[in-house]
Amino acid sequence: MSMNGAEAFVATLRACGVDTCFANPGTSEMQLVAAVDRQDGMRAVLGLFEGVVTGAADGYARMAGKPAVTLLHLGPGLANGLANLHNARRAASPVINMVGDHATYHLHYNAPLTSDAAGVARPMSDWVRVAHSPRDLAQAGAEAHLAAMTYPGQVATVIVPADHAWSEGSAPVAPRVLPASPRAPAEAVTEAAEALRHAEGPCALFLGGRALRADALDLAGRIAAATGAKLVAETFPARVERGAGRVAVERLPYFPEQGADYLAAYRTIVFCGCEPPVAFFAYPGKPSELAPPEARLVRLASLREDAHAALADLAAVLEAPTEPAGRAVRAVPELADPERLDPLSIGAVVADLMPDNAIVTDEGLTASATLYAATAGAAPHDWLVITGGAIGQGLPLATGAAVACPDRRVIALQADGSGLYTCQALWTMARERLDVTVIVLNNASYAILNIELMRVGVRNAGPKALSMLSLADPVPDWCSLARGFGMGSEQVRDVSSLRAALAGALSRKGPFLIEAML
Amino acid sequence: MSMNGAEAFVATLRACGVDTCFANPGTSEMQLVAAVDRQDGMRAVLGLFEGVVTGAADGYARMAGKPAVTLLHLGPGLANGLANLHNARRAASPVINMVGDHATYHLHYNAPLTSDAAGVARPMSDWVRVAHSPRDLAQAGAEAHLAAMTYPGQVATVIVPADHAWSEGSAPVAPRVLPASPRAPAEAVTEAAEALRHAEGPCALFLGGRALRADALDLAGRIAAATGAKLVAETFPARVERGAGRVAVERLPYFPEQGADYLAAYRTIVFCGCEPPVAFFAYPGKPSELAPPEARLVRLASLREDAHAALADLAAVLEAPTEPAGRAVRAVPELADPERLDPLSIGAVVADLMPDNAIVTDEGLTASATLYAATAGAAPHDWLVITGGAIGQGLPLATGAAVACPDRRVIALQADGSGLYTCQALWTMARERLDVTVIVLNNASYAILNIELMRVGVRNAGPKALSMLSLADPVPDWCSLARGFGMGSEQVRDVSSLRAALAGALSRKGPFLIEAML
């Protein structure tokens, strides 16, 4: 059966196991829209803005362990999705982008929407491919899937010329065989074992990427039981499986002085699933590297090497005990002031009410560390963090996670300033009736920037500077925004109200927004 | 006096005449925030999203005739602003972007926000420069101003490493002397005159860019009086000065068949300020070029040559009469159904109530042609159109135009689907108390895409395809969105209500949103 290029491309992706398309199409993608429409087993989810689409693909990938495909409108549409592709790439999430472009013969006319789509894609993609023909489009789909699934995951972008999409004579291509994930070298395991066994002074196991899943943390906990190593997670992990009964791991603090202080005591640090930590930003006269200069740094497995396997090998070499150290116990923080709404009390309420197997997305920024610590003893859950610092990722991430896991509850902990970048995600939650409860922490401020302004040495900031860091005048009203996007909402100003609102939201189907006024 | 790089950079821009900064800064831009703060005569306007910032810079530039400077946060922040930079570039608007980046010595650590900022900038910039040192940063500012002001205007991007911004030892640089705008060759004027004088069959003057300002249109009208040439504007002009008493110009229709039909009769077409028209998108089996193949095409002046001077030269060679042909007369369309709300009646009400010297931003999409035609006889005004097809430009454009022209009323005619991309612009209008009246044409649909789906030959579209083109379920509620962003609003369903709401909004200071339900 002859297919046009778009149909063969979409059929190839479906054969590769892709079953979800987050879409924001335009005219040049109409054949792709039609192909998704006709493809059995391919769900289409519309986003009102491309940053919603790409952030949702990231959230989906983190939870599903496989890529969704995005549908984006030429270079400018892709551009609107780049920031969350940056985050997805930093999360090592598998994502496939299909980006329409003008018909090949039309490009040289320089029509108004003409741009260098591949050039737009490159800075935020691990892999970019421009299709050469209708037949090649299907081939590009299979290759994109292979690229996206390259351990632990990559952002793969296919540029789809409109004439390749609409021309007949193509056919689906068989999925590529996915290679096994690369193993860390045996020498790395031996060196890590030796370093931990003979550590002079405190030692730590610094974990990132796939090393933060429950099974890998269980191995890490066994290694800790064998060696006394402290378990530390990277500051912005893509996904931590945590909560009561699971091996707990603290996150390295965000500010570089605090991060360096945290690590200062360790003389041996073994890294698995990530690289040694560096300052998020540079500051005048401050070092970029956070591990103490005198510490011995040992790479057990990089981000691109199988973290679980490396931990299993290390546990075996160490003959680690079966029972891991450091399981979290069920606990909820006590509050000094039982009604004061702040990150700690919000975290405590969430920890108390969170159902089993929930998914938490965390774009809490200045509140994030407190929220994370307060929920250490909650029911078992997944905790997803903004990975690349490109704010506006939380609400789309929650959207995608909910699409990936329709049987699980999603709680989105969202700072106000960053939430406004992609507030359109609320509409997709409403349309798809996703079980997402959004808790907006409204402090009417880019709070982090007020801190950073001082940190970089700016003194006596004037009203003009402060106006650039404030969301007051007017304070955005999130309940009205939720209503505008078709979602129910409630504003709360004390802990009892938050508790009642959250309990209510978690007891109902569909999305709900709680605006917590700090 | 020693300055740090940021201060010298901003002082240089100020010396070049830049007095407005549209900002969405992050940590790496704190020294730039402080420098803007301290710089006398430099206004700072915060946008909640970068697409608002860059679109506002475009609107500002179209009205002010000089660049504002944007302040953007590293590669991902710039990425969020690219779509409207694409539009700005297509409008030939002068824009200077200052984009923070990590300290040079910090880049190689690959911290989470690290990206190829220059790579992100390139596809949507005419000119990109990475500063080399604190002193060079000021130099880059002067060069960026020169690049931005290169006739008729360009997008110039400076990447500002944080350590260059914070290091002392820099000093402002004197503004570059701006060159005169390039003149079209004398031969082009001679050829155009000869072609129009001896045209066999109907002839047309096809105008774009600066040829659509009132003084240039006056010249074009005189040429029309001398030669009988029809005046036609490009489909998506950056700025048309029009209305009662000015020389009127129709816009070439959007759909390529209609555009080709419109031009079919002309045997001679002289272009000024633009290139010959091409289809916005390609369609299977349809030609890309819209001028009839047998027509004689003559380039009087390209987009980059002085359109006004070329028209003046042509009028002189033709010894054109003093009085132009085709002045618009004051008129408002009559309505067959006096209460039915549709693009024609909205256009009629706007034409009737628009005050002298208003600015209209038009992202009406499917409604745009009707709105434009209906307002031909309104009071004199400027009409600004989305130029590059990257939707989400209308509300930011209105924001920037209002900042540039505080004494003029701005009316934003806004399609619903495209308005949702950058709805955060409403907040900036509210904060800055801008005299903008937004009229949202709410049809709960990407109406253009439903048309395009059929046009590219897709038949029997299923519910999945239609769901990707519909904004229903839930229909966004713009009045609530306006409230969420701090702006007053009213929903209208008939012409009388629209008339009352618009009259009220135009009589008050500050912004207001009218949601017109179609």
Q: Over the stretch B242-266, which tens digit does the pLDDT of each residue have?
A: 999 999 999 999 999 999 999 999 9
> Please, is A457 exposed, middle or buried when counting C-beta atoms within 10 Å of its C-beta (0-12, 13-18, 19+)?
middle
Which residue of B22, B27, B104, B116 to mutate against A (max A Cβ within 10 Å)? B27
Query: Which residue in the set B90, B122, B456 is minimally distant from A119, CB to CB?
Result: B122
Q: Strands (DSSP E) along B120-267, which ranges?
A: 127-130, 155-161, 168-170, 203-207, 230-233, 240-242, 250-251
**A208 with A303: CB under 8 angstroms?**
yes
To 5 degrees, how large is the angle CA B148–CA B151–CA B152? 90
A77 touches chain B (CB under 8 A): yes
Query: Which residue in the set B46, B113, B467 is minimally distant from A44, CB to CB?
Result: B467
**B416 with B516: CB under 8 angstroms?**
no
For A449-501, what is each residue's pLDDT tens digit? 888 888 877 778 888 998 999 998 999 999 999 999 999 999 999 999 999 99
Closest C-alpha to A432, from A468, A400, A457, A479: A400
What is the pLDDT, as a whole number, of residue A268?
Answer: 98
For A307-317, what is each residue's pLDDT tens digit? 999 999 999 99
To 5 degrees, how large is the angle CA A290–CA A295–CA A299? 85
**Cis-peptide, bond into residue B152, ω within 30° of zero:** yes
Is residue B267 scored above 70 in pLDDT? yes
> Scanning the structure block, which residue is given the tokens 């789309």?
A396
CA of A217 vs chain B CAs: smallest distance (Å):
23
**Cis-peptide, bond into residue B293, ω within 30° of zero:** no
The average pLDDT across A155-160 equals 98
CA of B324 vs chain A CAs: smallest distance (Å):
31
What does pLDDT average to over chain A?
96
What is the pLDDT, as a whole number, of residue A356?
Answer: 98
> Please, is A335 exposed, middle or buried when counting C-beta atoms within 10 Å of its C-beta (0-12, 13-18, 19+)?
middle
Q: Does domain B343-517 have CATH number 3.40.309.10?
A: no
Interchain contact, B109 vs A278, CB within 8 Å: yes
Closest C-alpha to B91, from B363, B378, B459, B373: B363
The average pLDDT across B288-301 equals 97
Is residue B231 scored above 70 in pLDDT? yes
Handedness of CA A200, A202, A207, A212 (dihedral sign): positive
B506 touches chain A (CB under 8 A): no
Interchain contact, B431 vs A473, CB within 8 Å: yes
Q: Which of residues 121-160 of B touch A (CB under 8 A)?
A: 122-124
Domains B186-317 and B343-517 equal at CATH topology level: yes
Interchain contact, A109 vs B278, CB within 8 Å: yes
B169 touches chain A (CB under 8 A): no
What is the pLDDT, as a whole number, of residue A126?
Answer: 98
> Please, is B174 exposed, middle or buried when counting C-beta atoms within 10 Å of its C-beta (0-12, 13-18, 19+)?
exposed
B79 touches chain A (CB under 8 A): yes
A119 touches chain B (CB under 8 A): yes
Task: Report the topology of domain B3-170.
Answer: Rossmann fold (3.40.50)
B208 touches chain A (CB under 8 A): no
Domain ranges of chain B: 3-170, 186-317, 343-517
Q: Which of residues 235-274 of A touch B (CB under 8 A)?
A: 236
- What are the C-alpha distances in Å from B397 to residues B149, B402, B414? 19, 9, 11
- ipTM value > 0.90: yes
> Scanning the structure block, which residue is given the tokens 């291509």?
A173
B304 touches chain A (CB under 8 A): no
> Please, is B463 exposed, middle or buried when counting C-beta atoms within 10 Å of its C-beta (0-12, 13-18, 19+)?
exposed
A464 touches chain B (CB under 8 A): yes
DSSP B295: S
B392 touches chain A (CB under 8 A): yes
Residues 6+ apart with CB under 8 A from B396: B47, B51, B52, B53, B54, B55, B56, B58, B59, B84, B422, B425
For B460-480, what is each residue's pLDDT tens digit? 888 899 899 999 899 999 999
CA of B219 vs chain A CAs: smallest distance (Å):
27
**A32 with A8: CB under 8 angstroms?**
no
What does pLDDT average to over chain B?
96
What is the pLDDT, as a whole number, of residue B1?
Answer: 67
What is the pLDDT, as a whole number, of residue B443?
Answer: 87
pLDDT band for position A279 (cuts 50, 70, 90) = very high
**A392 with B50: CB under 8 angstroms?**
no
- What are the C-alpha distances in Å from A163 to residues A36, A99, A140, A167, A179? 17, 13, 15, 6, 33
Interchain contact, B486 vs A464, CB within 8 Å: no
Residue of B nearest to A448 (CA): B27
**B395 with A391: CB under 8 angstroms?**
no
Residues 6+ apart with CB under 8 A from B295: B263, B266, B267, B268, B269
Amino acid at A329: V
Task: Quote the CA–CA distance of A136 and A173 in Å, as a whole number.
Answer: 9
B118 touches chain A (CB under 8 A): no
Closest C-alpha to A84, from A464, A400, A307: A400
Amino acid at A79: A
How is residue A86 written in tokens?
A: 């940056």
**A91 with A388: CB under 8 angstroms?**
yes
**Cis-peptide, bond into residue B474, ω within 30° of zero:** yes
How is residue A241 written in tokens?
A: 């499986």
Interchain contact, B453 vs A106, CB within 8 Å: no
CA of B258 vs chain A CAs: smallest distance (Å):
16
What is the pLDDT, as a whole number, of residue B454?
Answer: 82
The average pLDDT across B218-236 equals 98
B465 touches chain A (CB under 8 A): yes
* Strands of the sheet with B296-301, listed across from one edge: B250-251, B230-233, B203-207, B268-272, B296-301
Query: Which residue in the set A115, A282, A417 is minimally distant from B102, CB to CB?
Result: A282
CA of A508 vs chain B CAs: smallest distance (Å):
18
Q: Which of residues 1-40 of A touch B (CB under 8 A)?
A: 23, 25-28, 30-31, 33-34, 36-38
Residues 6+ apart with CB under 8 A from A348: A332, A333, A334, A335, A374
**B439 with B414: CB under 8 angstroms?**
yes
Question: 10 Å Cβ neighbour count for B17?
Answer: 13
pLDDT band for position A127 (cuts 50, 70, 90) = very high
Task: Quote the CA–CA distance of A335 and A104 in Å, as a whole number.
Answer: 63
> Scanning the structure block, which residue is given the tokens 């897709």?
B458
Which run of H or of E encompasses B301? strand B296-301
How is residue B205 written in tokens?
A: 């003057």
Query: Which residue in the set A111, A284, A479 is minimally distant from B166, CB to CB?
Result: A284
**Cis-peptide, bond into residue A355, ω within 30° of zero:** no
Cβ pairs A/B, distance under 8 A: 316
Is residue B119 scored above 80 in pLDDT? yes
DSSP A278: B
What is the pLDDT, as a whole number, of residue A510?
Answer: 98
Tell me the pTM: 0.98
Task: Quote the CA–CA distance of B283 and A28 in Å, as a whole number.
Answer: 9
Phi-psi region of B154 (alpha: psi -120 to 50; beta: other; left: phi over 0): beta
For B385-420, what is each residue's pLDDT tens digit? 999 999 999 999 999 999 999 999 999 999 999 999
DSSP string computed for A9-64: HHHHHHHTT--EEEE---GGGHHHHHHHHHSTT-EEEE-SSHHHHHHHHHHHHHHH
pLDDT band for position A1 (cuts 50, 70, 90) = low
Q: Considering only the top CATH level, what class is A186-317?
A: alpha beta
Residue of B nearest to A464 (CA): B37
Q: Which of residues 422-461 of B touch A (CB under 8 A)?
A: 423-424, 427, 430-431, 448-449, 452-453, 455-458, 461
Quote the distance between the C-alpha of residue B14 and its chain's center.
24
A170 touches chain B (CB under 8 A): no
B26 chain-A contacts, CB cut-off 8 A: 449, 452
Is residue B134 scored above 80 in pLDDT? yes
Interchain contact, A456 vs B486, CB within 8 Å: no
Task: Quote the CA–CA distance of A44 and A318 in Å, as a whole number.
Answer: 48
CA of A318 vs chain B CAs: smallest distance (Å):
32
B423 chain-A contacts, CB cut-off 8 A: 423-424
Task: Quote the CA–CA distance of B209 and A112 in Å, as a whole number.
Answer: 13
CA of A314 vs chain B CAs: smallest distance (Å):
27
H, E, C per residue of B77-110:
HHHHHHHHHHHHHHCCCCEEEEEEECCHHHHHHC
Decide the pairing of beta strands B3-4 and B168-170.
Answer: antiparallel
Task: Quote the CA–CA distance of A417 and A471 in Å, as a whole number.
Answer: 7
- What are the C-alpha distances in Å from B228 to residues A386, B187, B218, B325? 63, 22, 14, 9
Closest C-alpha to B266, from B252, B255, B254: B252
